[in-house]
Structure 1
Amino acid sequence: MTLDQIRYFLEVCNTLHYTKAAHNLNISQPSLSYAIKQLEEELEVPLFRKEKKTVYITDYGKMFQPYCQRALDSLQQGEFYIREMVNPNLGNINLGYVYSTGSQLVPNLIEAYHDYKGDNKVTFILKMANSPSILDSIKDELLDFGILPLLNNNIDGIGTMPVHRQELYLIASKQHRLANNKFVEIEDLADEKIVALDKESDLYERTKMLFREKDLVPNFYYDVDELNSMAAFVSANMGIGITPNTPVLKSYDLVVIPFENHSIKRNVYMIWNSKISHTPVVLDFLEFARSHINH
């Protein structure tokens, strides 16, 4: 049984007329009749019967028709997806990002890409998560790219490219003793209760590192799972936090204070799985990102 036989069979089912079916298929009527006869011989049942000039589908043909249609539809869908995969102007890009990059960095990068490509049909499927989750999804081939901060960008099997330097700030309630400071230093926080993101987060490890560099030990008093919770605890004067300045902070009764000389920043990277082959649309976006960031 061949794909052409299936196509020919379905066309005769649709037209119930061999001459019309042959015309629609752009083949000769004898070729069509021969192909249908071969298919019937292979199945050992008649698929059509003729009465004078009228063609009827047999019960065997009626039973066989939906299976052929599903098979043809499935093959056509597969062909569509293959063509989509090899076209750099078509397809999906799965991109994970941490919350602090979602208000400007990620939207701006995607907007710049669409402006660069013009009228293209690339769809971005976005997932917000913490850094470990994004990294795992990249390794498991669930995401094409991740945008996240990294303390160490030397990771086996992971390609990395710096895309942003993100400044970190102190957040404190308006009643806090440091609330009126124009700048602060890590030493000012030696005895403070710290509201931190969970221990798997980049901010948790980075805060430990900042204190360790000053021979201090941070007093992690509350661990929370996302930035809204941190801001809520801080605004209630239950501790201080160290975080990027994101739009969500404006919703809380707190102050955002830079560190002395705006000295505390972290590198944000775009990452991808360097051990696998990528579709043309994914590679196209990567090349654009390289060029866009360099400029």
Structure 2
Amino acid sequence: MTTTNEAMRNKTAPEGPAPQDAKSVVELKGTGKSYGNIRALHGVDLKVSPGRVSCVLGDNGAGKSTLIKIISGLHQHTEGEFLVDGRPVRFSTPREALDAGIATVYQDLATVPLMPVWRNFFLGSEMTKGSWPLRRLDIEQMKKTADHELREMGIVLDNLEQPIGTLSGGQRQCVAIARAVYFGARVLILDEPTAALGVKQSGVVLKYVAAARDRGLGVIFITHNPHHAYMVGDHFSVLRLGTMELRASRDKVSLEELTNHMAGGAELASLKHELAQVRGVNVEELPEEDLTAPKTSTGDAAD
């Protein structure tokens, strides 16, 4: 009998290896960021190619937010290289990142809860008609376009006039993804899109992450949930304390290994002798140290 997780994975997981000759849109080489004497990120390597989901996992304080800020143009890197289409870049503002086709969907989604769905879809980039000084919003065209684009992503809403705040968390995430796709995103950064969602709504969001990948976008899926990442990911990177502990393609790492890295298996293994002194802790069930040693893929194929 197929479990819910297995069914979702069958629906969203890549059906085969991604093309190895796909050129990366975004590439980080030894990239890092320091704030004065504090090094928040160091030596990060990451490739994002069209039609692939690159999952970046890490606990709180691992450096995920700093990584997002560098790629989205909020902060500039202080070491290494940041390449877009093979050319070094140093974005000064998020607008420059958007112009390069890099869109970020944050946890708060940057929506106005009391505004209609169609208005949120075009928020800040409204369509107009007529000439100045009689130019006005082209409301009908915006409604038609929003409905068409949402349906293209498989999102059917009965009423685009309803406030976006009345939608479920999963539906709002999906509207934000469809909006980014419509406005020309080539790389989509998703900041913990399933963090505050239940199982069913998380499944809905993962389905649309897969839909964005199938439309040819390169997706950077930031999460602390290895199960969600493994359902849709092509490549996995685990950050720990600002450095990359693991880089592996889907065929090189199992869900169990990914979960073990996220759970801090290496640290627990190194503390075996101390944990053995704690009553109630069975150290025999802890992983061996050599099984959790950092693994770094070599070659472009893994990225």
TM over 0.5: no
TM-score, with structure 1 as normaliser: 0.22
Larger radius of gyration: 1
TM-score, with structure 2 as normaliser: 0.21
Richer in helix (by share): 1
* Greater RCO, CA 8 A, separation 6+: 2
